[in-house]
A and B are shown apart, each in its own frame.
Chain A
């Protein structure tokens, strides 16, 4: 199975900050990488697919980049509704494993 490692595990930031979350895969996987946002008590929501494609309806302050083993999710200017937990997911191999999550908290 492909192992996904996110960093940092938690992050404190302020409204308006630029934030970057990193996801590293245990093997090369082209651009088969997705990002989800999850708020407490809710199901995950797709933000970015195929490493850099923005899901319909997702604000353009979210962006993704990377290929191979290293990927990033960037939020260009944090809004109050962005404080949540973020997960990467690989869809290169059949068991679509997730990273351990990054909890984004208000500073």
Chain B
């Protein structure tokens, strides 16, 4: 059974840092690109970042570029999101998602999400 389990969320002050993790199981993690998507309280889904299967290619939404870093450790079947210079508008539930479908990419599995609260 495919499982994605996020962790690392919590309360952080504005300007602070936090690292999220997404532990994957039930599939060959190193064969799949992975993504982070967030959802602010009461708002819609916002695409955050992507990483290729081998970690060599990364993408970021303009809203987080230069502040967030996506990475992965295929030996540990884990995806990461290092978040820095956090702002109030970064407060959200952060989901990791697996990309499948080849050229017609889609997110077929999602984690349960981890809440990041940015407040002083």
A residues with a Cβ closer than 8 A to B are 1, 31-32, 34, 36, 38, 43-46, 49-50, 53, 55, 85, 87, 89, 91, 94-101
Contacts and interface: CB of A to CB of B under 8 A. Distances in A.
Majority SS at the chain B contact face = strand
Contacts of B37: 44, 98
Contacts of B95: 43-44
A53 B103 CA distance: 14
A97 B45 CA distance: 9
Q: How large is the interface on B (under 10, 10 to 19, 20 to 34, 35 or more residues)?
A: 20 to 34
Contacts of B59: 94-95
Taking chain A's interface residues, is the majority helix, strand, or loop, or is none over half, making it mixed?
Answer: loop
Given A43-B112, A94-B59, A95-B61, A49 B44 contact: no
B27 interface: no
B104 A91 contact: yes
A46 B17 CA distance: 31
Contacts of B46: 98
A95 B47 contact: yes
A51 to B, nearest CB: 9
